[in-house]
Structure 1
C-alpha cells in the first residue's frame, strides 16, 4: 500500500507536469498569434513582438524579485498565488479587445508564471530523494512543457481555421489553472525547513554573487539564446525555400517541438543511468554540429539539421536548472530557481533581438544564425570543460537531498 508521503509526492509530480503543460500552451503559441495581431491591429513586427516580450519581462522580474516567496510563504501558498493570478489574467482576455490591455495581461501572467514556476521547482526538490532523481523529474516536467508547446499552437491554428478567436487558448489555459488551484489546495505538501530569518528579495541579489549560481545561470542563458534562434528565426530563415524538401521546411518548427518534447522524456531515461556532465557535453557538441552543418550546407541541410537539434537541446535546460537548484539547501531552492529563471527570461528577450539586429545589419537571417552558432560553441565548450573538471561535483554531493518518508525527512503539511 502506498504511503501518504508517496501518494502525495506522486500527486505533486502530476500537478507540476500539468502546470508546465498549461503555461506552455500560451507562451509557445505566440508565434502563431502574432501574424493575426499584425493583420487585426495594423502593427509592425516590433509592436506585435510585445506579445512575447511582455510575458518574458514578467517572468524575469518575478524570478529575481519574487522567487523568494516559495521559501518565505511556503510552496503551497506560492503555488496558489501564482496559479490563481495566472488564471485570472488568462480569463481576462474575455473582457475586451484592446491590444495594450492584452499586453498588460500577458505581463501579469508572466509574473504569475514566475511565482508558481519557482515554487514548483522548489517543490520538486522537496520530494526528490537524490539530486539524480531531481534531474530526472525536471526532465519529465520539461517534457510535458514540450507537449504543451505542441498542443498550444495546434489549438490556435484550429481556432483560426474555424473562424474563432485565438483568445480561446488563453481561456482554456485559465480554466485549466483553476482546476489546478483546486488540486493544489487538496494535496499534502512536504514542509520545508524554516529559517530563523525569513527569506527576502535581497536573498536573490546575494545569490548573484555566488559563482555556482552564476555558472548555472550563464549556461541557461547560452542555451536559451541557441533555442530562441530556432523557434523565433528558423521560419524566417527557411521562408521561400524551394529545394527538394519543401514539405519538411513547412513543418520544420513543428518537427523541432516534437523532437524537443520526445528528447526530454528520453533524456529523463538517460540521466537516470548516465553521468549528467557527459550527457550535457555530448548533446551540446551535437547541437553545435547541427548549427555548423546548417551554415555550411545551406538551407538544404538546415531543413534537416535545425529541427534535429531539438532532440539534443531537450536535455540541456532542465538538467542545468535542476543541478543549479539541487546544489543548495531546500530552504533556498525558491530563490535559486528564481535567479536562474531571471537570466533565462532575459536571454529569451535579448538573444532574438540581437539576432534580428545582426540580420538587419548584414542583410539576412543567415547572419543571425551565425551569432546563434557562436552561442552554441560557447555552450559546448563550457559543457565539455564541466565534464572534464566537474566543478559542481563536490557541491552536489554535499547537497544530496534527504528522502521524504513516513519515518523521516520533512513532514507533510496541508490537508490529508
Structure 2
C-alpha cells in the first residue's frame, strides 16, 4: 500500500510537471507570448521547488511524510480546479508555482520513504528506478492526455485548459490513496532543534562528495529539461509538425526514458554503475550528432500525421533511452552512502539543485532557440554532456573512499 501511494503520487506529478513543454507551446499559441516569456514557466515550477525544498526539507520529518504529501496534493487539486475558469497566462504561472511547491513536499517525502523500505544499495537502486520509471510512464500519459484536449483546427483555442478538471480529479483520488497508506514516521538518530536540522542540511553541501554530486545532478537536469521542455516546440517550428502531432510524438521521449529507467535495474545487477553511466553519456552525444543533421530543411514539406513525420522526429527523442538511468543511479549511490536520518536533508539538496538545473536548461534553451534556432540550441547540449563526464569521474573517486551500506 505504501509503494502504491508513492507510485501514484509520482505518476500524477509526472503529468503535471512535465506538461511544461506542452504548456509552453500552447501558451505561445493561445496567449500570443514570446519564447523567452514562455520559458519562465519552467522557472515558476523549478524555483518554487528549490525554495520550498531548501526551506522545509529538514522540517518535513518533524511534520511527517504523510501530512507533507497530503498538503502538497491538496494545494495542487485546488490550483488545477481553478485554472480553466481563470484562463490567463498569469494564473498558469501561479499553477506551476503551486505544482513546484507541492512536488518539493512530495519528493522529499517519497525519497525518504524509499530509504525506509530499502536495506541495501541494490534494493534502494531497484526501487528508485521502478518509482522513477513509473514517473516516466506518467510523463508519457501526460502528452496524450493534453493532446486529447487540443483543438486541431484552432491552435489559439483555450479548450486545452479543460484538461485541468480531469487532473484535479486524479489528484483528489491520489490524496485518498496517500491518506489510507500506512506510512511510518521517520526514525531520528537523536532529537535536534529545527534550526540545527536546517544547518545540518547546509553542512552536507560542504562535503566534497556532495559538492561533486549536486553539480552532476545540476548538469543532468539541465540537459533533460532543456531538451524535454522544448521538444514539442522543436517538432512544430523546426520539423514542421502540426501542434497536436508535435505533442504526441514527444511521447517517444517519455517512452525512451521510461524504458531506460525500468530496465536499468536489471543491467546494474551485472555491471558497475560508473562504466554504465559513461556508456549512457557517450550514447547521448551519439544520438544528437546523428539525428540533428537530419532535421535540416524538413519544415518545408507538408506533414499531416505521424506517417509524414521526418526520421529526425523519431530519432531525437531516443536520447531519453540513454539519459534515463543517470539521475536515479546517482541519487541511489549518494543516498546509500549516508545514514537514513540524513536522507531527507540530502533529498532537499537534490531537489534544490535539480530545480536550478531544470530552470537554467529551459531558459537558456528558450533564449538560444529564439535567437539562432532550435537545431543550434539542441547542439549545445553536447557541452553539459561533456562536463558531466568530468564530474562523474570525480564523483566515482569520492564515492569509492566511502563505505556504503549493503552490496554494490
Quickly say closer, same or farther: Cα 1:65–1:147, change in 2 above 3 A.
same
What residue in structure 2 maps to residue 49 of structure 1? 39
The question of 1:268 aligning with 2:294 is answered: no
Which is worse superposed, 341-350 or 377-386?
377-386
Tell me how far 1:302 sits from its aligned partner: 4.9
Structure 2: distance between partners of 1:67 and 1:196: 16
The question of 1:331 aligning with 2:341 is answered: yes
Matches within 5 A, 1:3-402: 11-161=1-151, 165-194=159-188, 195-199=190-194, 200-237=197-234, 239-241=237-239, 253-294=250-291, 299=296, 302-303=312-313, 305-359=315-369, 363-384=372-393, 386=395, 389=397, 391-395=398-402, 397-400=403-406
- The TM-score, its normalising length taken from structure 1, stands at 0.82
Quickly say closer, same or farther: Cα 1:356–1:89, change in 2 above 3 A.
closer
Structure 2: distance between partners of 1:250 and 1:159: 11
Structure 1: distance between partners of 2:42 and 2:230: 14
Structure 1: distance between partners of 2:377 and 2:28: 23
- Aligned residues, how many? 383
Gaps of 5+ in 1: 1-10, 243-247, 402-416
- The TM-score, its normalising length taken from structure 2, stands at 0.84
SS at match of 1:327: coil
- Are the equivalent residues in 2 in contact too, given 1:69–1:78 (CA < 8 A)? no
What residue in structure 2 maps to residue 411 of structure 1? none
Structure 1: distance between partners of 2:282 and 2:391: 10
Structure 2: distance between partners of 1:77 and 1:317: 27
Quickly say closer, same or farther: Cα 1:166–1:80, change in 2 above 3 A.
same
SS at match of 1:160: coil
Structure 2: distance between partners of 1:17 and 1:223: 23
Structure 2: distance between partners of 1:341 and 1:320: 13
Gaps of 5+ in 2: 297-309
Which is worse superposed, 196-205 or 109-118?
196-205
Quickly say closer, same or farther: Cα 1:21–1:326, change in 2 above 3 A.
same
Question: What do residues 52-109 of structure 1 show as CA deviations (whole Å, max 9, x unaligned)?
Answer: 3211221111221222233222222222222222223222325523332332232122
What residue in structure 2 maps to residue 3 of structure 1? none
Structure 2: distance between partners of 1:151 and 1:321: 25
